[in-house]
Structure 1
């Protein structure tokens, strides 16, 4: 059996697909991953022996490049839909099922529908899924009308935003391959039974049962490579440092943020470990400060005093699983909600806003570095599931065995 996995986004969107690909292989199935053409994704997948099919634009270029404003959100959406039908469609030609995630995979269900194979949409955070219990996350398009507080109305407007972005290109491509038009692109993509690949403790699905969400647990990527020798030497040379990294976030004024972070950590009497990330954080410092590139979070976070990060799903989960206290400095989209969840669980502190100052980050660090927070983080770590990718792999293969066909579009 062959399964096509597809995700367009940052490392936090691609690494879970690598984890699922490995789990499928362990169950005797073949898997390939469609992912953005960024070198680090190719390296990540090659490291675990998973074939990659590149598609779309470089995500790193979209996030960091000066070219970013040159195309509107609808133009980027149309390009992505075309890539779904063309590149992803070709990659699915000999596959028995498709699992899609990342930036709205608007055309992927149509590819599966045309080929008559099962399709699954997976989310790596619960707040994208429509629920009357909360507001929709921000999305390109006209802002919500001021004063509207009815969440059902807001979710209806959210669906209209998605239609404005993806509706015309999606239905044009569907018509070209003989499929009927879709009225509600968002719900069509999610289906009536989306999968939620998050840990039930960190990000539970306890909303009203309006949709049948299948929560598998997080798909945790296991990097078998050892930590770099220079990093090992730094870790062994003193007390556990505080890790500071913002993943794929561009971070305006990155040099100032790096300086502030180093000063705030030092003020707590701690050494500092800074991850360059896509922002290129590279502080200069004395022997108490070390800058690292790509390194496995699951190995590294077990050896740090705390983790200061942006609040991505993967980083939050890795820190929680390691029992490392967290300081979340949220930047965009779902990250403020991850920050709030970390604070609610008592496993760290939520920074107020995306731009830390010495004073604000110092206060957050003081809260995270208390013995009480460490004790709570250790306790929560023992509850985090690590079998999410295997659960998902089993469900995919069961769907193939039942020959589940995609549901007709809504």
Structure 2
């Protein structure tokens, strides 16, 4: 089976699909991933075929203008609209042509909801498609609302379900580009925004969430409409920790690991000062992965700073992990069996932070804004609590046993087989 995967966004929007692609290739399928050029090397290093998409959202968000918007610096609705109209919308339009080209000859399209035009392309080629969002934001359920509206509070069953109607409107800012693509490339008539959110001409679009079924075992209203596979983990036998990290780890007690991945801090210098103070007050060492956080360190005793390192190898050797709560980093933290402190920024991060805290798998979430040193001190002290250490080991064993990628591939194969039989 030839499979085209269409996705756009940050590393967290790409890495799960690389893991899936590798597993599908092991099962004898051909897979190509179409996404922004930022991830070409990452994809090809994992022996997966790459096709470039013009909408390199990671590069756009790492631009000065993109960072300002992501950080809320000088927040202006007009600025966001202008950025979207001048930068994002044109690149999305070009990407739909890229998606079309990448899907030539495919037997199946697997797509991220950000990959606009994916369902239109599948319909044009008369092939099945599967929606695979990295986070549980698509299908209307009663147990909790769309996290873009609330990450903590339930509105009640009826309003919770209604809150997911927002998903159908997510295409609205780009419907002009979608219809231009439909007319010029697919030679198809215009359509309304949200027409193919859940079905194609009355036939439901299969949805897979690559998240832990254990964490959502009380959610019944997904029923048979959504397949919950378990997290997708990308294993790389060739990865090693840099020598400077290995040397640091061997010279003392387990450190606190700090990683905000691609998320920029609003006030990196202020947060850095608070972090250094809290580490000193609690007598902790630390490895800080600076990434795009904006933090810059002088020579600090007991603190090693590097730009990036493999989370899988580093997290399991930590005393505790401070991170932003993105689904990829959060799931790796769960897999490490190490207590975690989440400082969420936006999107799905507050949702995961609140969920794990309520279930006892992370310490109470903190906020960068108005963060006090004593709050960070208290959180670091709790990392050593027996309860959090035991809970971290418990959830690690559960997550390991779910084998999400294997289950997802078998489900995908069965979905396609069933469609062929119809």
Q: Aligning the two structures, in what range does the TM-score lie when normalised by the shorter sequence?
A: 0.7 to 0.9
CA distance in 2, matches of 1:357, 1:59: 33
2:409 corresponds to 1:396: no
Q: 1:397 to 1:180 in 2, by over 3 A?
A: farther
User: 1:143: which partner in 2?
Assistant: none
Q: 2:52 aligns with which of 48, 51, 54?
A: 54
User: 2:213: which partner in 1?
Assistant: 200
Give CA deviations for 1:197-226 in whole Å, capped at 9, x if unaligned. 101123557142477011111111112211
CA distance in 2, matches of 1:379, 1:332: 28
The answer to whether the 8 Å contact 1:182/1:188 transfers is: no
Question: Paired residues, what number?
Answer: 393
Greater Cα offset, 106-115 or 381-390: 381-390
Aligned-residue Cα RMSD (Å) equals: 2.7
CA distance in 2, matches of 1:16, 1:203: 19
User: 1:171: which partner in 2?
Assistant: 179
User: 2:98: which partner in 1?
Assistant: 87
User: 1:78: which partner in 2?
Assistant: 89
Which fold has the larger relative contact order, with Cα–Cα distance below 8 Å and residues 6 or more apart in sequence? 1
Q: 1:245 to 1:100 in 2, by over 3 A?
A: same
State the SS of the aligned residue for 2:304: strand
Q: 1:398 to 1:77 in 2, by over 3 A?
A: farther
Q: How does 1:1-80 map to 2 (within 5 A)?
A: 1-38=1-38, 41-68=39-66, 69=79, 71-73=82-84, 78-79=89-90
The answer to whether the 8 Å contact 2:6/2:35 transfers is: yes
Q: Give the superposition deviation at 1:88.
A: 1.3
CA distance in 2, matches of 1:390, 1:135: 29
2:271 corresponds to 1:261: no
CA distance in 1, matches of 2:265, 2:276: 16
Q: Which runs of 5+ in 1 are unaligned?
A: 140-148
The answer to whether the 8 Å contact 1:248/1:279 transfers is: yes
Q: 1:307 to 1:260 in 2, by over 3 A?
A: same
User: 1:311: which partner in 2?
Assistant: 325
User: 2:258: which partner in 1?
Assistant: 244
User: 1:370: which partner in 2?
Assistant: 385
CA distance in 2, matches of 1:106, 1:132: 27
CA distance in 1, matches of 2:35, 2:131: 15
State the SS of the aligned residue for 1:244: strand
Q: 1:262 to 1:372 in 2, by over 3 A?
A: same
Q: Give the superposition deviation at 1:9.
A: 1.2
The answer to whether the 8 Å contact 1:136/1:154 transfers is: yes
State the SS of the aligned residue for 1:303: coil
State the SS of the aligned residue for 1:8: coil
Q: 1:259 to 1:64 in 2, by over 3 A?
A: farther
The answer to whether the 8 Å contact 1:311/1:338 transfers is: yes
State the SS of the aligned residue for 1:348: coil
Greater Cα offset, 212-221 or 68-77: 68-77
Q: Which runs of 5+ in 2 are unaligned?
A: 67-78, 150-157
Q: Give the superposition deviation at 1:47.
A: 2.1
Q: 1:246 to 1:328 in 2, by over 3 A?
A: same
Give CA deviations for 1:119-144 in whole Å, capped at 9, x if unaligned. 111122214433244333338xxxxx
Q: 2:396 aligns with which of 367, 372, 381?
A: 381
CA distance in 1, matches of 2:356, 2:195: 28
Q: Give the superposition deviation at 1:63.
A: 2.2
Give CA deviations for 1:88-131 in whole Å, capped at 9, x if unaligned. 11011122211111x62221111111112221111222144332
Q: 2:111 aligns with which of 94, 100, 111?
A: 100
> TM-score, normalization: structure 2?
0.84
The answer to whether the 8 Å contact 1:118/1:404 transfers is: no
State the SS of the aligned residue for 2:261: coil
State the SS of the aligned residue for 1:223: coil
State the SS of the aligned residue for 2:293: coil
State the SS of the aligned residue for 1:382: helix
CA distance in 2, matches of 1:57, 1:311: 25
The answer to whether the 8 Å contact 2:341/2:365 transfers is: yes
User: 2:75: which partner in 1?
Assistant: none
Q: 1:106 to 1:350 in 2, by over 3 A?
A: farther
